Amino acid sequence: MILVKPSFEILNCLDGFGADDPFEIIEIAGRTCYKSELKKGDWEETKRFVSNLIKRGHESVIEHFSVTVKFIVDRGVSHELVRHRLCSFSQESTRYCNYSGGVTFVIPPWVNIEPGEYESINTYTAYVGDLKLADAAWFEQMYKAEKCYQMMLKTFGWTPQQARSVLPNSLKTEIVMTANLREWRHVLKLRTSQAAHPQMREIMVPLLVEFRKLIPVVFDDLA
């Protein structure tokens, strides 16, 4: 018989205190479940162990490590992101951010317009002349939305939270998203599939590629 007092050990925290390798955290969690021996420093054994956990569907252990990503997307994409309720979000506020100096829009992948700053009506009309009709129509609506927003602020005295009502889904937003690795697997499975919105795939497919580089094994099986 063994008698012990309760205790704790902080495995991961700020400033590099504790384990800072996601695989070390995952391995500790997984081996705790099976009461198997932890083999610190044996990277190949760690990869095999974590890979086997995922293959068996024992993904709860990868919830112990989180990753934070900052996205720059349009409001339409951000509305889809925040539906992932197990994640944490911090997003640019259209209530408090004042875009009187200029509004930024995100170019959809199906619109063939070069990124850049288009300040005057002269550059605007000259550029539209070289575009396809649909691209030009999108360009024109963004231009009009910016001018209307600025007019509401400067001419009619509306507040930013009132004037935002004229801004479209293509408005640029910045959003910080934090999730554990299991939830990231879920998000990336959904948002990189062929059925996902093209703008979501535009940002999520490259993110999955980066995750595979930074956190191998955990994301290797995702298409």
Q: How far apart are CA 63 and CA 111, in angstroms?
A: 38
Encode pLDDT of 6-57 as tens digits.
555 666 655 444 445 778 888 888 888 877 776 766 778 888 888 888 888 8
Mean pLDDT for 53-64 is: 85
* pLDDT value, residue 10: 61
Q: Is 121 exposed, middle or buried (0-12, 13-18, 19+ CB in 10 A)?
A: exposed
| Closest C-alpha to 169, from 190, 148, 199 | 199
Question: Taking residues 88-101, what's their average pLDDT?
Answer: 95
In a 3-state reduction of DSSP, which class is residue 177? Answer: strand
Q: How far apart are CA 97 and CA 174, in angstroms?
A: 12
Going by DSSP bridges, is the β-strand pair 88-91/172-180 parallel, antiparallel, or unpaired? antiparallel
What whole-number distance in Å separates Cα of residue 46 and Cα of residue 24?
Answer: 8
**95 vs 117: CA distance, rounded Å:** 24
* pTM, rounded to two decimals: 0.85
pLDDT tens digit string along 116-141? 888 766 666 666 667 788 888 888 89
- Tell me if 176 sits within 8 A of 90, measured CB to CB: yes
pLDDT band at 215 (very low <50, low <70, confident <90, very high): confident
Q: Six-digit token pair at 136?
A: 């030009």
